[in-house]
Amino acid sequence: MKNFDAYSKLEELSLEAKQRHLAGLFNTDNDRFKKFNATMEGMVFDYSKQNITAEERNALLELAEQAELKAWIQKLLSGDKVNHTEGRAAGHTFLRDVNNPKPEVCNEWHKMEELVDRLHSKQLRGFSGKAITDVINIGVGGSDLGPLMITHALKGQRNVNAPELHFVSTLDGTQLQRLLKVLSAETTLFIVASKSFTTIDTLSLAKTAREWVEQHSQSEAGTMQHFVGVSTNVPKMQEWGILPDHQLQFWDWVGGRFSLWSAIGLTIAIQQGIAGFKAFLSGGHEMDVHFQEQPFENNIPVLLGLLGVWNINFLQVAGQAILPYDSRLKYLASYLEQLEMESNGKHTDREGGFVDYRTCPILWGEVGPNAQHAFYQLMHQGTERVMADFVLFATPAGKTERHKYHHNLNIANCLAQSRALMIGKTDQDTHKDYPGGQVSNTILLEKLDARHLGMLISLYEHKVFVQSVIWNINPFDQWGVELGKQIALEILEKIEQKDPSEFDASTQGILHSIWDINHEN
Ligand code: F6P
């Protein structure tokens, strides 16, 4: 990135940008919103509260040109092997092209639809003949976070015949145990969702679930009626005993954190019906078309990505807050933590050299109105520079006057916070002084439904891709998660042998403390 002319230009421009106050940009220009927003049907992207001028934006657009972003977008969308370290395409966009699907994708939609219909019509029955009332998705990371986020957001719009959905991901087992206490084995269906079908988190939980059903059913055949598998690894599903008509497949060209658009999104289809699932896919596809066709100056994912680069690499902003002003988006930040940090949390460029510039920032977030009473203090008066994305819906969640009242209150708070972060407030009493100058974007969506959520998620996927191109890194692998998994297996073995002597003093000390507490030493 540093070799590009635009990089040097941006460095030079940033000297002035670092000196000025964001509020000053508004004081001198009443048309700032008009000049610094981009739109598409159903979405307005306001970036006027970024510390940026038209000249700086143009230099960022030049940077994108020089990094050959246009060609990279083409490569991504045409199925080139952009994930070069694993020799694979990143084909998640193919999953949401509802009017022009690949035959294998269509085939899985049919299988999903059939399962969903059987569930909705109470034809999917357990070992005792009773209809399924509860579905537990067992999966972790990309096999959990996306479907969890979307189904939580759309719970109020669920199909009336849909069974209750539950999500279990943590290998400590407590989430699952809580559910097993209150649910009935006769009427519970488990979805074992795992791209690899080798993840110990998921397989250990699936085994506990299977033992639980078997205790009640007293038969293996009856037990397996309660399990559906979703994976790219059909032989492993088979080996585990998933019945052939309960196996749903996707492909290695779909990354784990991009897999909610595949059969990993089965819970979305169960909750919304297949039409609702396809509305979600269509929303994602609309953003793909926008990404592919819009000139960069009105291209929302391109702008979102470049503004991040401006802040991270030129203005030394280290934190990215995600602040949805709607409690239904409770899991958006967790989802984006994986999407962004697992994708771009890298220090190696495409050629295998170490980068000498910053890449993905630390991203965190919370539902805005709650976060106001938690960590906003740091954003207003702390010592860190932080950039924030506010996500807001234009239409109220319901039709009554009270809905309207809460809606306006919510809008007022969202706008108050982005304004306060921007302008700050000078006070003689330093405890009451706010420096301001904290930058933000506001993503305004028409309403919270499957289609608009599809647009939002696809927007962030493409933002991540744009940044990866500028940083010259591969966003589609995740080698960094392997070491911890490997050490966990080594430690587990030594826990079982009660001999941690080969590990560091901390690891040994903690294990001995645990054994002391349990009188096992
Ligand atoms: O540990 C990281 C990871 O590989 C993620 O990339 C992935 O989403 C998650 O584990 C779960 O993997 P799988 O779907 O193969 O069980």
What's residue 318's pLDDT?
Answer: 86
What's residue 323's pLDDT?
Answer: 98
- Residue 342 falls in the annotated catalytic set: yes
- Residue 401 falls in the annotated catalytic set: no
Residue with CA closest to ligand 1 atom 2: 481
Question: CA 471, 472, 474, 479 torsion: positive or negative?
Answer: negative
Residue with CA closest to ligand 1 atom 6: 256
| DSSP-assigned states of every residue in 9-59 | HHHHHHHHHHHS-HHHHHHT-TTHHHHTEEEETTEEEE-TTSS--HHHHHH
To test the pocket of ligand 1, the residue of 481, 487, 489 to mutate (highest count of ligand atoms within 8 Å of its CB) is 481
- Which stretches of the chain score pLDDT less than 70? none
- Which pTM value belongs to this model? 0.97
* 199 C-beta closer than 6 A to ligand 1: yes
Question: What would the two tokens of residue 391 be?
Answer: 């996500």
Which alpha helices (H) appear in 310-356, and where do they start and end?
332-336, 343-344
* 256 C-beta closer than 6 A to ligand 1: yes
Instruction: Write out the H or E segment, with its range, that includes residue 444.
Output: strand 440-445
What's residue 505's pLDDT?
Answer: 97
Scan for tokens 């939609």, then name that residue.
109
What's residue 1's pLDDT?
Answer: 84
Which alpha helices (H) appear in 78-199, and where do they start and end?
92-95, 103-120, 145-153, 174-182
To test the pocket of ligand 1, the residue of 138, 145, 196, 339 to mutate (highest count of ligand atoms within 8 Å of its CB) is 196
- Residue 485 falls in the annotated catalytic set: yes
